Structure 1
């Protein structure tokens, strides 16, 4: 856990509204072609049919902990072996948010990015990410099938990246102070007043989807199909629920070490979390449990995508194959605290129970997770008779929710 402690997955979905690509970038009439059912209409870009000679370097944008060369921890290094085997020197830039990743990829200075679902559709729609020829990534064959060709990493049957890892947003509670044991997200929404001042929530506009997921189960008259595809009425209901919850929230968290500290001290007794936080809190003596409630949960799945303007596409493809190779994918997953994408990685983790803890191969578990996606005006659930609320409006609403 010492390695993981240094990684702060800060505000992955935080964004500056003025910089977001919303409806204008997603499904605009000027991009050509026929809009997909979800309204996404990307430029007609082609994936390479073959690879050429490596260019000698690759420039990456990544989350902290994804491109480790031993400088943060001498025992954690999967970059130098890659450089020796491919001749591609790695230059990486750590991004603190999905919005920063989108901005950096627009410069054309980077060859590949480890995008989450709240950024990937923006990169696809704007033409900043190119389709990927998965046949040129040999280790792709061993990626868990339920990570392939999903709504956040493919469009119209085209793959736009190689899955890297995934995680769920869990409900965590103090087993000594929360009784009876919760089974539902109602504990932090409709029943939050029971723990007034001691409820915690993830500090990001994408958390609106957590409220929408709960309303999908508890208010069927809203007819919510997809927590990332909300028409105005559905969106207003989610925002109203979060404004009500705000009165009972003691702290919104983005730095997970602060959440660990809050659960250890008792300042927080119930709220959303990640598996790595639960593991760390328990290892430090906190009396907690974390689980997916009966309504399911939101979650994140990261995808390595190649820039449409990549100056070093051959080295980029070499990196994509390397980062999901069994040994390296196992190393990254353990260091970062997530389920690996490559099924063969599970046999190579230092903790032999790691994949069981993170539900890596548990298909039924992941079917209960609604992975982050980018809300756009053209509803992702396929509706064409209404407009959905784009992410820029989610950002504005989040400011209002927090007061």
Structure 2
């Protein structure tokens, strides 16, 4: 679900996933994946040992993830030239990876399962990525969206929450709930901004988990047909109080700064980029959705050795931290936070090592027919169904 401007990205994907099997874990939030999923996926071999670098590596990445400041140093160190292709959405990333022309992708959770189930990416031998160690934050290991059948398919890069941003000059009482952007009697009706993508259905589901427990939603990405219908009804209600929808973060910033919007969904980096103290943000009591990005290696990689060298290089505290600061997110390598006062300030702002904070964040996970909440007595709705349902909202 990502389309990231400036330093960020969100994506609309429309491919259905038909998965079978049973989940080995649900959890109370996005940070508790209980070791990923158990589902049927294509058998793709994992690289067993590193050889000589092939001289290049071809990467599909979000803007801000692969910059000369560190790619040139990587080339000097390894002899592997970095060829970057910037993608604007997760859907574009999936399509590019399926061409077989790229070795690596910086995939978000709304793309990961599609790539794994399609046989487009290979399991990762973490022993060949020594910088993936104790300093990688626990909340980015073994997640549902990139750990399948006990195998890791992703090397974490960074994460962030979808938070409630508000204009303190208008919203004078600090909100603690998403109710001000979901309820039709909101005092800010007509000044609410919402995210424009099918995955935003999960945000409605998060709110319903708290306000309508009788629906039985325990994971916002595991919705049966009744639960999906309830989320769509809520989104249609919200449509009546929305001033505009955003997919381009630059447009979201413009909406807040221009006064069209006074409350709505945001990212921590966007609130920071407004550079105006009247804009504040909060992670509401109901929790929120969020995103987590990871390097994934193509099952057709022509340069697997250079690809592994890149994943290890960018997992070091210094480089992973540089990517996180450039992009505007919490780094995966917590050791970065102790490298300088500036690094500590960045980590504090983005809650880098605050697992209690991220326990209330449900990271984007592609909705699939196999219920990721562990239910086996129903079939859950997949992303194709979400995409079709989203078209009815506006």
Normalising by the residue count of structure 2, what TM-score does the alignment of the two structures yield? 0.92
- Residue 74 of structure 1 corresponds to none
Match of 2:209 among 195, 200, 216: 216
Q: Distance in 1 between matches of 2:57 and 2:309?
A: 9
* CA contact 1:117–1:374 (8 Å) conserved in 2: yes
Tell me how many residue pairs correspond in the alignment.
Answer: 377
Q: Distance in 2 between matches of 1:315 and 1:192?
A: 56
Offset from partner CA, 1:77-126 (integer Å, 9 cap, x none): 11100011011111111111111111111111111111000100111111
Alignment of 1:312 with 2:308, yes or no, is no
Alignment of 1:22 with 2:14, yes or no, is no
- Residue 48 of structure 1 corresponds to 47
- Residue 152 of structure 1 corresponds to 145
* CA contact 1:263–1:286 (8 Å) conserved in 2: no
**Secondary structure of 2:44's aligned partner:** coil
Q: Distance in 2 between matches of 1:225 and 1:352?
A: 34
Deviation at 1:179, TM superposition (A): 3.8
Alignment of 1:340 with 2:331, yes or no, is yes
CA change 1:277–1:192 in 2 (3 A) is farther
Alignment of 1:266-277 (within 5 A): 266-277=259-270
Match of 1:120 among 89, 101, 112: 112
Query: Higher helix share goes to which structure?
Result: 1
Alignment of 1:1-400 (within 5 A): 6-9=6-9, 12-15=10-13, 17=14, 20-23=15-18, 26-27=19-20, 36-37=23-24, 40-69=39-68, 77-141=69-133, 142-191=135-184, 193-281=186-274, 283=275, 285=276, 287-348=278-339, 350-400=342-392
**Secondary structure of 2:131's aligned partner:** helix
Q: Distance in 2 between matches of 1:57 and 1:351?
A: 31
Deviation at 1:341, TM superposition (A): 0.2
CA change 1:396–1:179 in 2 (3 A) is same
* CA contact 2:179–2:186 (8 Å) conserved in 1: no
CA change 1:286–1:67 in 2 (3 A) is same
TM superposition outliers: structure 1 runs of 4+ over 4 Å:
34-39
Deviation at 1:39, TM superposition (A): 6.5
Offset from partner CA, 1:17-71 (integer Å, 9 cap, x none): 3xx1411xx33xxxxxx655556311122322211111100011111110112xx
* CA contact 1:68–1:79 (8 Å) conserved in 2: yes
Q: Distance in 2 between matches of 1:228 and 1:216?
A: 12
Q: Which runs of 5+ in 2 are unaligned?
A: 25-36
Pairwise CA RMSD: 1.6
Offset from partner CA, 1:202-242 (integer Å, 9 cap, x none): 11111100000010111010000110000000000000000
Q: Distance in 1 between matches of 2:172 and 2:235?
A: 23
* CA contact 1:192–1:245 (8 Å) conserved in 2: no
386-395 vs 221-230, which deviates more? 386-395
* CA contact 1:39–1:378 (8 Å) conserved in 2: no
Q: Which runs of 5+ in 1 are unaligned?
A: 28-33, 70-76
Offset from partner CA, 1:271-328 (integer Å, 9 cap, x none): 01000011122x2x25121010001110000010111111100000001111111111
Offset from partner CA, 1:124-182 (integer Å, 9 cap, x none): 11111110011100110021122111111101211111000000000011112114321
Q: Distance in 1 between matches of 2:240 and 2:252?
A: 19
341-350 vs 384-393, which deviates more? 341-350
Q: Distance in 2 between matches of 1:14 and 1:318?
A: 30
- Residue 28 of structure 2 corresponds to none
* CA contact 1:39–1:380 (8 Å) conserved in 2: no
Q: Distance in 2 between matches of 1:178 and 1:359?
A: 24
**Secondary structure of 2:306's aligned partner:** helix
**Secondary structure of 1:197's aligned partner:** coil
